[in-house]
Structure formats: structure tokens, C-alpha cells
Amino acid sequence: MPIAAARHPHVEDAPTAPTTPTAWDEPPAGGAEVAEPYLLTTAVFDDSEPTGPVTSGVHTHTDALLVWPHTGSITLRTRNTVRRLLPGQGAWLPPGTPHAASHEAGGISCYTYVARRAVPPGWSAARPMRVSRALQEMLLHLDATAMPDDLRLRTQRVIIEMLEEDTLPAIEVPVPEDRRIQVLADDVMRDPESDLSVEGWAARHALSVRTVTRTFSRDVGMPFARWRSLVRMSAATALLAQGHPVNLVAHRSGYATTSAFCAAFRRITGASPTEYLREQAAPAPAAH
């Protein structure tokens, strides 16, 4: 089926994300709201013509939000976590949750807003979601097709009943609270291939190694080296989903050999790169 227009009239163009850490305490409200009598609506961002990534600044919505990529990947950031979502993976954000997102160039990214009155009981916290290909196609069909209100509402109720938590979620990369270390962490996430040591990263940001190591232990509960492994594996999943060979993904993830990369990948995910994609991601959409 055809994908809806690249921008929806009820969604404002996202502002460019700042290069310094954004305050999360008072994020602006924005985005689509579900109009009565409907229960949900989906905004589709078609960046299939690769002109560069699209990034939003930190903001909130009055409705709940299901974030999911149809093709490509979405990098979703909440106050303390960064997730790289692949097709088949999603994230549920309760109403009012501050977040920012970046769409991969060449992909199709989707944001399904769910009215407060339609939120499943007990879904008051963020959670990983499984977004099957069938569910994706139903949401895209609703977005692109005119239909009577009673049929649209029945379909929306079925979709909400189909929502399920993912038992094999995307890799979560925790983010330090300390703003000085956030700048360093952002640089590492932008360059997972770098072989800089913790000493090198600390020096680049005019910080002491002691400050960096203590902050990572305190804020994310793990040493810098293990945290960087999460960053690298998160980046690797997106490269694998794009169809890059494992040896290239290993190099671009900062590993000297494919075997070292595969061993690290299994330690983090519990699966080989091939197994991870098979178990985690939805099948690719058929050609239309």
C-alpha cells in the first residue's frame, strides 16, 4: 500500500536539536492531538529520499505516543535513556513524557498518538513495544484511507487491543545526569567507531578521568567501557538492519575483528547479529 504524505498538516516541523544538552525540566508541548471521537492517529514521516536525518528537540504531547519505524531506524531519547528502534520495535510513552527523536535518512518513521481515554489500564510508564508488520499495515491503512467513522473506530479499538509489550526490546543506552558528562556521552554516541580511551575522552572535554568514571558509575550504574559497548551495539543494530555485512558493521562499531564484534554483540544481546535481526525485527515490507 502507498505510504501517506511526508508531512501531516497537524504536525509542526520539528526544530533542529541543540548541540548542547537540553533542559528536560520544562520542555515545550507540541505534536498532534487525537480529536473526538477518535482513539488514535498516526503521523508518518517519509524520509525515503535520503537528504539527511531529521531531528526533533525535546518536547511533550498531551496524548500517549507509540514511536515506531516502518523502514530504517529511529533514535528515541528520553531523559535518562537512548534507544535505537528497528522495524518491529517500538516505544510507548505515557502522556506528558519529555522526549526527542531522530529519523534515519532514507527511512519511514511513524508516531501513533493514543488519546488519554483509550490508554490501556496500567500503562502509566514507558515500555518497549512489539509492533508487528500486521499492526504497522493497519495503522498505515487508517492513515491513508478514508472510511466511515464507525468502521474507523472499530479498527482503532482492535489496534489498541493488539498492542503488546516487547519481551526482546531494543538496546537501551542510559544517559548520565551530569550535564558535563552528557556532552561527552553525546560525542561518544555520535562516533561509536572511535577508539579513544576514557582518558582520551576526558581530556577532549577538559574533565578529569576520576570525574568521568565516578559519574558513569553513579548515574548509569556501569563502567564507561561497558557503557560504550552498549553504544556500539545499539549503533550496530541499525547498520545490520540496513543490510550492511557483519565485517563492515564490526569496523564501523569500533572493533578490529569480526570475531571480537560478534562475541561482544552476543554478550550484550544474548544472540549473534544474524539471530538478533531474525528475532527482533519485523520482516521487511513487500514492494508496493
pLDDT tens profile 103-118: 877 789 999 999 999 9
CA distance 257 to 249: 10
pLDDT band (50, 70, 90) for residue 66: very high
Q: Is the pLDDT of residue 3 over 60?
A: no
* % pLDDT > 70, the chain: 85
pLDDT tens profile 221-268: 999 999 999 999 999 998 888 888 999 999 999 999 999 999 999 998
Q: Tell me the pLDDT of the chain averaged across its residues.
A: 85
Question: Would you say 60 and 54 are in contact if contact means Cβ atoms under 8 Å apart?
Answer: no
